[in-house]
Structures are given as C-alpha cells and as structure tokens.
Structure 1
Amino acid sequence: MSFNWEIKVANPVLIDGMSFRVRYKKKPNGSWLDFLPNPTTNIFTITNLDEEEYTAEIKTVCADGTLSTPSFLDSPCYGGGGGGDDDTPPLVNIHWTDMSSSPDKEYTTDNFNLNIAINATDAENDIVLTELEVSSNNVNWSVQSAITNQIVQVVGTKPTSYYYRVKVTDSKNNTATSNILSVKYKEVIVRDLQITNIQGVYPATCGNEGEEINFDIIGKPNEIVKFQMKCIEVVGHNFNFVINTDTVASAFTWGTVQNGATKDGTLTLNSQGKIGCNAKMCLRPCLNEAYSTATIEFTLYNSDGITLSNQKLRFNAYQDCNI
C-alpha cells in the first residue's frame, strides 16, 4: 500500500521566479530524498509513499536564487487520511524582503520603513492566528498587530531599537514563535569646520590685530576636539596669533609664528556640540613691517586621531608705525 502526501504551504505565496526547494525522509532516521522538479505553486503532492510517517524540509527559493530558512513539516498518518488528532505545532520563520543575510539592520535617519516576509506551515494547514510581536529590549514583548498577509510593514523612529518576531497559533491552540529580526538606531555624528562672517582687513595701530575670521566647530556634545594649526605662505614678518571662543578669551595663543610652524591644541564643545571661535592675526610691535599676510591651515581630529575636517584661512594685518 502507498499513499500520496498533499502539501499546502500558506506562506509565502509564490510569484514569478520563485519556487520551493523540497526534500523529504522517513521518520525517524531515513535518508533525505529530493522532490523534483522544484514546486512553483503553493500546493504540491509527493506521491507513492510507503505507509510510514515522513518529514519534509521546505525552503523558499527567491527570484535571485537566495534561499530562506527551512521549515519542517510532518506527514499525517500513513494512507493520507486522518491526521485530525495530530497535535504537531505549526512552524514559522521570518526574513527581510530584501533577503538580507543578517537578521539585524541599522538605521541612521529619523525613521525607517521596512518589510518582513512570513513563512508559516502547519501539518493540517489550520493556522488560525498570526501575530506580529515587538520589543524594544528583546526581553519584554507585546503584540503589535494580527497579520493576514505574508508581508508585513514595520516602521520606527529614532533612537529606539526594535525587535520583531511572529507567533502563529493553529485550531488546536498549538503555537510556534519565529526567529527574531532587529532594527537598531545608529547615531551618525557629522563634524565640520564652518567658516562664517569674515570681517575683512582694516588698518591697525602698531602691534594691534589685523583681519578677524569667525568660525564654528560643530561636533558631539561636550566633545574635546583636537586640532592642529600650520602656518604656510607667510609674506612679511613673523606674527602672533590668538583664538578667542564664545566662552573663553584667549583660549588659544601662538606667539612668534614662522612659516612652516605647527601648533596643536584642544577645544571643548558645549552641550549642543558647538563652539564659536574668533581668530586674530597680530603683528609684533614696531618691527618695521607695515604689512604681513599668512595662511593658517586648521585640521580637526577625533579622539582616535582620524582627520575630520581640514580648512585653510587667509589672514592679513597692517600697522602704521615704521621705525
């Protein structure tokens, strides 16, 4: 005697280019046999089976050839009949619809919008309830919604982390819970050196300031920013240089600056991740130089020494004493 085993796969519904990869074996220790050709419909039949119980392994083959996590299904009692008293729980697994190999995703924008595919099977094809569960810590779970489709949309907003799983229940109240997918917020700090409000050149008294340049350093709140200044393209005499911030006068000074010289320093950003700076080039008093100009190259670094920004500022200064 033999029987035919009709298998109905509820999820996912196959579309063009998709199929199932199926193999089956006798329980408990039979050898796996491939069922060919790959089914391209959600209902297919394995024929001429011995009067034994069987297990089938089913994987979804996506249009690009990637495979889903397998689902396993047990046959009803041999002869293809009955099975009405089968208490075998259903099976369910989930994956991102883009078939990402990793179950974990990150988002860096204010919100995200993603889709999850659900693959659920049951020996008697009597799944009565499919629920999407969500957690923010992978510990405490709640039901977000009941699901009637094989694709479910999930959305979220920063900075929350989201964990998703699916629970299915059959008519005999047997349940199964899927694997877990996650979406976590990743903060991207944009640091830059912004140049604003260049004041221009103005005549100064002997030894006084020349051109001023205002700029902001923007980064992470309360961050200590490392920077280096390098003097290039000097015309005229050596000079002094000072940076005032919006909180500290003369927060950084550099005396007798020569061509090619460098100077390192640090500045601490405020709680909003910003500090305003005012840089001035000063001619040394009465050195018989009426004019001097130089380019100061600013380079910002993070705590790991990685360059974040590089900016060149051109300074000019005049004096009216010629001794």
Structure 2
Amino acid sequence: MALLKRSFTAALLDEGDDPSYPLKMPGSLARTTAPVAKMMRLWNYKQGSGLGAHGQGIIAPIKAIQHCSTAGIGHSEKTYKNGLHGAPAPSPPAHDEWHESAAVSRALRLERECYEKTLALLRDAKLQGDDSAETAEALAAIVESEEVLRGKKRAQGAWRAALPPSAVRHIVEQVLTPRIAMKAPEWEPLWSPGCGHWLRPWIPLIGHLPESLYATVESKISGGCYDVISPWKDYLAPTQWEIFSRRHVLLRLTRWLQQLKITPPKQRDTKFREVMSWMPLVRTEDVVSILEQEFFGKWESALRHWLQSARPPCNVI
C-alpha cells in the first residue's frame, strides 16, 4: 500500500520539477491533484516558491472585513445613490389593498341584502292593509333604487344616497326602529354575536343603533368576549362607541395589564397578547396611556431584576 502511494505521488511530478524538494513540504506539487499541478506548471510555478511572475507570493495580505452576521448578500454599510430624483413613494402592501377591497365588497353585499329585506317588509305592510301615502312612496322609491344596485361600478353608500330623504325617514322611524326595538331584548349575544337577523341587515339605512336602545345593548355585551364586542364598533354611533369603549374595554385592558406577570426570559402569562388583540377597538392615545401607566414600568423593572440576578449571556439577551 505504501509503495502504491509513493508511486502515485511521484506520478504527479514532472521531469522539470525539482526532485530534491521534499514531497511533504508546503508548496510541493505532490500534495495536490494532477489537474491543479498541470495548471500551476503552465503559470511557471516552481516548487517551494510563491505565486506571481517572480515567485514573490502574496506581499500585501488581504485584510478580512467583518460584516453584520444577520445581513444578507449584497448588504452595504454605506448608502447607495441610484441617480433617481423624485422617485415615487412605494406603493402600499398588496395585503392592505386586499383587505380594503374585501371590506368594500362586504359593504356592497350588505346594501343588496338591506334592499331585499326592506322591499319585503314594505310589501308585507301593503298586504296587511297599510294604505298610507308614506308607505306607498317609500315602496316606490325602494323599487326604483334597484337600478343603482345593478351598476357594475357602484360606490359604497350610493344606494342610500339615491333614496329620497322622506322615504328614508319613514322607513327608519316607522318600519325599522319599532322592529329593532322589539328584537333587541330577545337577542342573545352568544348565539348571534354578529346581530345578523335583527340589526346588521339594516345598517346601510339606519347607520347605527338607535339611541333609545343603547342601554339595552350595553347591558348585554359589556362582559362579552372579543367576538361579541368587536362588531359594535361599526354598529354604534361614534359617540356611543366612545362611551362604551372607555367604560368597558379600556377598564378591562387596564385590569389585565395590572394583573400581568412578566417573567423573562420565558414569558408564560398571556395577558399582554390578549391586550394587544383588543387594541383595534380603542383609540391610539388611550393605548399609549394605559401602556405608560401599567406596562412599561413593570416591564423595565422585571428586565432589570433578571439582568442583575441571572446575568444572562449576550446571545440570550
């Protein structure tokens, strides 16, 4: 086996190579492969010398440059000017555009549903003997408004805007409000959190819950979960929602932050995550206020205690 190894090593050498140069020394062609040895001979390489025209080797060593460990290929610490002036601002993410388009589509479908249900109510009223001019006018206006709903590029709210104000007022005050007032006390939030059968279909016409029913709804949803409370941000008038969110949602979030236990490095208490999931229901100013009052001080204190007592390594921090 040793004989075969020596014969293979000798085969890598050429008749022009220095036979006196030790085979195991760095720079020996016997320490490489045949293709590499052939290529180096073409470059006039001599065993024991360096690379270069005169065998000088590397006289100016390459200095290693340390880059950010988390940076990707092409990362540069310096800014790069591409020569473009007044470049347009980046377009919003397609994700946001999709959500906005989906919300508009839902609103347009709700208008169609409101039209169909309102038309059915007015026709039933006529069949039950309501011969008033107001009901006849409202029914005629609803029938004519179908032309607006047929439009392929219909804007949200265009259907209600096409109805005569007198017809809208009669439908809301004389037809819808009494019906909603009768259904509200019977409503069970756990069974129908979206109010799909007694309130939601009429939102395109009435706009929001009638003021007279606020106390009834508040008593039913004040202790509810997120799925019960969240739809009412759209169903209540802005002033009604402001009162409700401050009275019930903010107090709940404040209580959760007060009960929160921060345990670095592994957080087990999930109350902070629950608080964050409720944030879309309250104003940004209120979010900042309760975080400053109930969270940041506690968080800073817990981190300081952990760093001083456990003294974790930098890679853990």
TM-score after normalising by structure 1: 0.20
- Tell me: higher relative CO, structure 1 or 2? Use CA pairs within 8 A at least 6 residues apart: 1
TM-score (structure 2 length as normaliser): 0.20
From the CA coordinates, give the structure whose radius of gyration is larger. Answer: 2
Higher helix share: 2
